[in-house]
């Protein structure tokens, strides 16, 4: 679906005096890939509107096609998926999953339950991203998943197992995607008896589980909750197509533009998410409010403008780990040191984001303390121009575009962003959208 576009080896961003404008967001990656898989597993045909066209959704679409699921592209943002009622026409397939965690984790669970002979592999970084907790949970109840490389990591070989247990357990403190995967596969297991999933330890990124539960409900499956400790799917429920479904704009992508409004005047409005969004990352705007920005919310939009220099923040960001990266760069414009806590999950994302963020923030002049699950950022008196390495991580590239902004007391600088093509993972047109809110007049 994604239009192939040419990216240079680097992009040079000139200092931006003022940020102002309106941005229409691309579709949510988390919602898009969950919806694609649920539509494939459902009975009936589902038309998906406003879907994200990106590398990660292309990975999921390609995998579904390899598994025999038919889908038709109406346009770049609309796909019709012909569900097959929990059955896969192709009982054997070799699936390339790129670096798409939102694709490989749920597919692993679904394929393990449905059964067949499947191999799943990806780029080298995918083979460094843990999947052992999910595999252990599935193998413990009769799945047959083998590691073909390092134990605990992809690549995987999935053969036909025999899942019989009605209770599963998975650790919650590495990635919420493991629980999401088991939840989405649970109705395929709960044919004659309930299936319960117990969460061992703390569950991180709870808002992403809320997205999963909301979408399962849209496809006709109710999940019973015992707080965040356990989840139960009663027997006899099957995924049913809702007919048509619209994908919300990506709230994580919204964070860059909202932060730009907070740093460099504004107002900047994003369209596609609003006050009733099912995505937890809309709470990023709450963090900007705590830092002193003026935030206004509507049904399908959020708008931010600055209210003087940003205030330093010390907060737990476990609930919005992806959007929290944007706070780390916004902290460059704050009136003192900021501390982002409970973000250990950064280390197992597209790169080790804690280490990468610390390294690049130091390049622009910040003092940085990097802990096992926190980062403390002391802003410099003046930002330095820098060449930013992106580590093949889309969020690193988008975050550091903000260092080109003029925050009055702390002027932005020319920034060179290396390997800008990494934004294609979730937002192929990011730099064009960023240029669209860049103004040369003072505010």
Residues with active-site annotation: 322
Angle between helices 101-114 and 132-139 (to 10 degrees): 10
d(CA 191, CA 310): 54
Q: Tokens standing for 222?
A: 């109710």
54-82 b/e with 16+ CB inside 10 Å = b?
bbbbbbbbebbebbebebeeeeebbbebe
Pairing of strands 78-82, 92-96: unpaired
Residue 304: is it exposed, middle or buried by C-beta count within 10 angstroms (0-12/13-18/19+)? buried
Residue 349, annotated as binding a ligand: yes
30 labeled binding residue? yes
The response to whether 66 counts as a known ligand-binding position is no
The response to whether 384 counts as a known ligand-binding position is no
Query: Is 205 annotated as contributing to ligand binding?
Result: yes
Within 8 A by CB and 6+ apart from 39, the residues are 46, 48, 81, 83, 219, 241, 245
411 is in an annotated binding site: no
- For the chain, how far is it from start to end, CA to CA, in angstroms? 39
**Structural tokens at position 87:** 């059955």
Map tokens 């449905």 to a residue.
114
Q: What's the DSSP call for residue 311?
A: P
Query: Annotation-wise, does 72 bind a ligand?
Result: no
Measure the CA–CA gap between 19 and 305, rounded to whole angstroms: 9
CA-CA distance, 83 to 356, in Å (whole number)? 41
Residue 177 is labelled as binding a ligand? yes
Per-residue tokens: 282: 């809309």
State yes or no: 395 annotated in a binding site: yes
Is 439 annotated as a binding-site member?
no
Backbone angles phi, psi at 348, to 5 degrees: -120, 30
* 376 annotated binding-site participant: no
Where do the DSSP E strands lie in 122-248? 144-147, 156-159, 167-171, 195-200, 224-226, 230-233, 244-246
- The total of other beta-carbon atoms located within 10 Å of residue 214's CB is 13
**305 DSSP β-pair partners:** 294
Residue 117 near residue 162, CB atoms below 8 Å: no
175 is in an annotated binding site: yes
Sign for the CA dihedral angle at 12, 17, 21, 23 comes to positive
Q: Is 425 annotated as a binding residue?
A: yes
Binding residues for phosphoenolpyruvate: 29, 101, 129, 177, 353, 395, 425
Binding residues: 29-30, 34, 101, 129, 175-177, 205, 322, 349, 353, 395, 425
Binding residues for 3-phosphoshikimate: 29-30, 34, 175-177, 205, 322, 349
């Amino acid at each position: 679906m994604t239009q192939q576009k040419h990216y240079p080896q680097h992009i040079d961003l000139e200092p931006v005096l003022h940020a102002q404008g309106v941005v229409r967001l691309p579709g949510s990656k988390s919602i898009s890939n969950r919806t694609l898989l649920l539509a494939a597993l459902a009975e009936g045909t589902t038309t998906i509107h406003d879907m994200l066209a990106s590398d990660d959704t292309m990975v999921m679409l390609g995998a579904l096609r390899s598994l025999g699921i038919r889908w038709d592209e109406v346009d770049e943002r609309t796909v019709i998926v012909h569900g097959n009622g929990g059955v896969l026409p192709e009982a054997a397939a070799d699936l390339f999953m790129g670096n798409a965690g939102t694709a490989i984790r749920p597919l692993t669970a679904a394929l393990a339950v449905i059964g067949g002979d499947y191999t799943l592999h990806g780029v080298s970084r995918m083979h460094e991203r843990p999947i052992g907790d999910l595999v252990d949970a599935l193998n413990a109840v009769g799945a047959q998943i083998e590691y073909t490389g390092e134990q605990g990591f992809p690549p995987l070989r999935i053969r036909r197992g025999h899942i019989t247990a009605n209770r599963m357990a998975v650790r919650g403190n590495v990635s919420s995607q493991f629980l999401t995967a088991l939840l989405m596969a649970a109705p395929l297991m709960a044919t004659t008896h309930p299936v319960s999933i117990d969460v061992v330890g703390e569950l991180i990124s709870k808002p992403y589980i809320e997205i999963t539960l909301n979408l399962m409900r849209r496809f006709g499956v109710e999940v019973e909750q015992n707080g965040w400790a356990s989840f139960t799917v009663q027997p006899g429920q099957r995924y049913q197509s809702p007919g048509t479904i619209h994908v919300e704009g990506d709230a994580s992508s919204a964070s860059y533009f909202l932060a730009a409004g907070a740093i460099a005047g504004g107002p900047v409005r994003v369209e596609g998410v609003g006050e009733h969004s099912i995505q937890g990352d809309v709470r990023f705007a709450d963090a900007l409010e705590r830092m002193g920005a003026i935030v206004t919310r509507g049904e399908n939009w959020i708008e931010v403008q600055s209210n003087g220099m940003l205030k330093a923040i010390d907060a737990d960001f476990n609930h919005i780990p992806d959007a929290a990266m944007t706070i780390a760069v916004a902290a460059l414009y704050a009136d003192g040191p900021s501390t982002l806590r409970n973000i250990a999950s950064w280390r197992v994302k597209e790169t080790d984001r804690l280490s990468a963020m610390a390294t690049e923030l130091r390049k622009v002049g910040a003092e940085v303390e990097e802990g096992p699950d926190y980062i403390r950022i002391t802003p410099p008196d003046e930002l330095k121009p820098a060449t930013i390495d992106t580590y093949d991580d889309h969020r690193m590239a988008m975050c550091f575009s903000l260092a080109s902004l003029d925050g009055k007391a702390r002027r932005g600088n020319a920034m060179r962003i290396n390997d800008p093509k990494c934004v294609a993972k979730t937002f192929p047109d990011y730099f064009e959208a960023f240029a669209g809110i860049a103004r040369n007049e003072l505010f």
